[in-house]
Amino acid sequence: MTPLLRLALKSLASRRITVSFSIFAIAVSVMLLLGVERIRTEARASFSNTISGTDLVVGARSGSVPLLLYSVFRIGNATNNISWNSYRTVAADPRIAWTIPLSLGDSHRGFRVLGTNADYFEHFRYARSRGLKMAAGKPFDDVFDTVLGAEVAVTLGYVVGDRVVIDHGVGRIGFASHKDKPFSVSGILARTGTPVDRTVHVSLAGIEAIHIDWRGGAPNAGARIDAERVRQMNLQPRAITAFLVGLKSRFATFTVQRKVNEFRPEPLLAILPGVALHELWSLMGTAENALAFISYFVVAAGIIGMVTMLMSSLNERRREMAILRSVGARPVRIFTLFILEAIFVSGLGVIAGLALFYIGLVAAQPVLEAQYGLYVAVGWPTETEGIYLIAVVLAGGLAGIIPAVGALRRSLADGMVLRN
């Protein structure tokens, strides 16, 4: 260890109380910096992992972001439906490999109900290429079967075989319910970290069945049809909300998109989910950037605190500098001593901040997952985070130039013998 390094360490150790507050301030700022960065990255990743493998999303003509929001994120409502005939006509295109029909509009105790068919379990992909897996039970088979997303099952405490009553509409508590036709839980999906976890899945026939005796959004009191009789009826839906399209070749994407958008019988909109996801994320980018900026400024405040600490020690250390000069320390060494101290304080701040960050991460992980469906992995720091950490130490060292120059100037003016 060089004499200077030893001096810097001992000098800091002798002022351990003020120094530890400086370190703590930097640690808290580093924790915030890393926390914001990690959540930002994970949120973006989880966001773009919501849907994959789907080449087009088709719905009634509106905007690409609203269509993406209701079809993929189950947020908001469609203004219009697509007729079953249009769906069948488009789906018959030879370039299309598969489609997944989506029918939305009902809910169950705050969770959206999605009417779809068996293709959903076969073709839906998220997080690049992961398919849906059953954690318990099996996909729906009967008209009144339902498959629950992982979070629905956990939150409401359902197991396979339980009975579920669907509410009409999407209010938190439905004002009208389909209690005459309860569903039975046939399966529960494994967790995906996507909106699928918060969805109650039923067959398209099931959606049709619960609305068959409704007229204009209310039960038709005079013409009740019970569940058993419904099974015998034609449960072919008349309309769906949207559908997902998988193509045989991705090269056909734009051709098929144009064909859907120019579909004569009904105004339809086909979007590329990747493009729409990007658009949607850029809407949130401002808030995300603001958060990042705040964390940069908090780091700056932490470093300013350290500079203040070092500056305020200058006066009481004039004697010390004179002694060091008298034993032959060159002025540049006095300068370096302060820079080293600044680097140590910010380095220890970074290490302590990293520790706080991981403690916070372990503590917050279950909450983030339960409340926001955001899974944040407790892994090694990423490259970006590493760069941030190094940047904080460098910024600390650079800021150390301010007290170091102060010490240098005083030391040059004082010489070895202080003029009292």
Partner 1 sequence: MVQPVDLTDVKFQWRADQPVVLDIPAFSVGAGERVFVSGPSGSGKTTLLNLLGGVALPQTGSVSVGNLRLDKLSSSARDAFRADHIGFIFQSFNLVPYLSLIENALLPCRFSEIRASRAMERSGSVEKDARRLLARMGLDVDSLSGRPVTELSIGQQQRVAAARALVGNPGLVIADEPTSSLDEDARKMFLDLLFGEIDADDQTLIFVSHDRRLEPLFDRHIALSEVNRASGDMFAS
Number of residues located near partner 1, criterion CB under 8 A: 24
Give me 220's structure tokens: 């038709």
Nearest-approach distance from CB 2 to partner 1, in angstroms:
9
Minimum distance from CB of 324 to partner 1 (Å)?
7
323 lines the binding site for partner 1 (CB under 8 A): yes
What is the maximum alpha-carbon separation in the chain? 107
The DSSP element (H or E) to which 368 belongs, if any, is: helix 331-372
CA distances from 48 to 43, 68, 114, 280 (A): 9, 12, 21, 10
> Is residue 246 within 8 Å of residue 54, measured between CB atoms?
yes
Q: Min. distance of Cβ 311 from partner 1 in angstroms?
A: 18
Residues 169-198 contacting partner 1, CB under 8 A:
none
Residue of 138, 215, 238, 330 that binds partner 1 (CB under 8 A): 330
- With contacts defined by CB under 8 A, name the span among 1-9, 40-48, 90-98, 266-274 that binds partner 1: 1-9
Residue from the set 14, 234, 236, 371 that interacts with partner 1 by CB under 8 A: 14
Q: Which of 85, 326, 382, 384 binds partner 1 (CB under 8 A)?
A: 326
CA pair distance 406, 401, nearest whole angstrom: 8
Alpha-carbon gap, residue 190 to 34, rounded angstroms = 30
**Host H or E run for residue 199:** strand 199-203
> Any idea what the Cα angle at residue 311 is, between residues 306 and 315, rounded to 5°?
145
Handedness of CA 83, 89, 93, 94 (dihedral sign): positive
Q: Tell me how far, at minimum, the Cβ of 346 lies from partner 1, in Å.
A: 20
Distance of closest approach, residue 348 Cβ to partner 1, in angstroms: 17
Please tell me the distance from the alpha carbon of residue 149 to that of residue 167, in angstroms, as a whole number: 17
17 binds partner 1 (CB under 8 A): no
Nearer to partner 1, 223 or 332 (CB): 332
The tokens 């370039």 sit on which residue? 95
Q: Does 329 bind partner 1 (CB under 8 A)?
A: yes
Residue from 255, 319, 362, 390 touching partner 1 (CB under 8 A): that is 319
Q: Per rule CB under 8 A, is residue 312 in the interface with partner 1?
A: no
Contact positions vs partner 1 (CB under 8 A) = 3, 6-7, 10-11, 13-15, 319-320, 322-331, 415-417, 419
